[in-house]
Amino acid sequence: MFKKVNFFATLVTSLAGGVLFSVPVFFFIRDNAYTESWLLYLGSFLFLTVIWIHTVRENKKRREDESTVALIFISHVATIAGIIISCIICFLLLVTMVPGYLDSGMADKVLTGEPANTIKDKTDGLSFDIFFAATVINFAVGSFAGIILPFYTKRTQTKDSKEPTPLHQYGVK
């Protein structure tokens, strides 16, 4: 089913993307100021860079002649795995850096300087902003790289001589 996916390369890519996303998140949690939310976008840009490199490397491994749909699928698998890993790392950062995060009541460290329309939770939007960036924004940038790059890096744009998808069913006419 997933025969075209190199699971080791995908795991390494998703670990690198999750860790690189989480480095700016560490500083965002440490500073806990809304004006530092640009760090979350920096983390998503680093995540985009990792997915971009992974997609280009997977294309080069296949002599730049892999099916476009297969490359899109491969990059989306890496994106989703990276999102899961970045969410786990961000949760661990919140648990360790925000005293009272898992306790009842308000946490000891909350987001400061946020606008009035920010979604309020026990951290006044700190955890919402982090998990929103880790899931929605990272999926958007990973999908962008996963959709644009296979078409851009394909050597022959006229045809796909390989099987169309990694989920191709043999024997079905």
Polymer length of the chain: 173
Q: What is the pLDDT of residues 99-145, one digit of tens each?
A: 888 887 778 788 888 888 777 788 888 899 999 999 999 999 999 99
Q: What is the pLDDT of residues 32-72, one digit of tens each?
A: 899 999 999 999 999 999 999 998 888 888 776 667 888 88
- Is the pLDDT confidence value at 95 over 90? yes
- Is the pLDDT confidence value at 155 over 60? yes
Can you give the pLDDT at residue 117?
79
- Is the pLDDT confidence value at 98 over 60? yes
Could you tell me the CA-to-CA distances from 127 to 42, 136, 144 in Å, in that order? 17, 14, 25
Q: Give the three-class secondary structure for 44.
A: helix
Can you give the pLDDT at residue 149?
86
Amino acid at 104: S
Q: How confident is the model at residue 82 (pLDDT cuts 50, 70, 90)?
A: very high
Q: What is the pLDDT of residues 3-37, one digit of tens each?
A: 777 889 889 999 999 999 999 999 999 998 999 99
